[in-house]
Amino acid sequence: MKTLKNYPEKEIVRLIQEHWIDEDDLVESGICPVCFNQEHNNVLYGKDMILYEDDDFVCFFEDEPRAEGHVVIYSRKHYSDLSDMDFSVGQKIFSFTQKMISLLKEVYHAESVYLCSINDGEVSHFQLQLIPRYHNEKTGTYNFIKHRRPYVEDSEKEKKLHILLSRDFS
Ligand SMILES: [Zn+2]
């Protein structure tokens, strides 16, 4: 694939919208997909799926989740991984993550919530994945690679999650 670096950004947005390219193509061209996403109205992910956002981070439902309630959190600023991050931002993100894990248990009835941060490669932007494990699923690392499936909306649970979240984060 030809590098996208010399393409006008508007053209890259069109190619994404028409499903000619995805985030992997951006990464291969040395473009950070998370930064690109933020600069272009959530063209890659998070659109209409945002649970919470502020000046430091964004949390949204994964659009191809590995489990119901699979959410992603990324920092606004480009940090390659946690070691790179301003301490105060890390504190905020982990305090939010703690709350989100307890809400996924309370609202989605997850038995446990797996947490991972896969930050690697030349274009790496800090993000966390929270993947619920339910009572009928086996435990262990398998949960990180459960099959992705299209997002299915559950407006009642989402509404409850928003209400409970807004008590601590608004
Ligand atoms: Zn970035």
Q: CA 20 from chain center: how many Å? A: 22
Q: What is the mean pLDDT of residues 55-63?
A: 95
Q: What is the mean pLDDT of residues 40-57?
A: 92
**Does 3.30.428.10 match the CATH number of domain 46-168?**
yes
Separation of CA 139 and ligand 1 centre (Å): 32
DSSP H or E stretch at residue 36 = helix 33-39
Q: What is the mean pLDDT of residues 113-122?
A: 93
- The domain ranges of the chain are 1-44, 46-168
Size (the chain), residues: 170
Separation of CA 77 and ligand 1 centre (Å): 7
Separation of CA 31 and ligand 1 centre (Å): 8
- C-alpha span between 40 and 45 (Å, rounded): 10
Provide the pLDDT for residue 169: 86
Separation of CA 35 and ligand 1 centre (Å): 4
Separation of CA 33 and ligand 1 centre (Å): 7
Separation of CA 151 and ligand 1 centre (Å): 24
Provide the pLDDT for residue 46: 82
> Could you tell me the pLDDT band of residue 5, with boundaries at 50, 70 and 90?
confident
Separation of CA 140 and ligand 1 centre (Å): 30
**Is the pLDDT score of 12 beyond 90?**
yes
pTM: 0.92
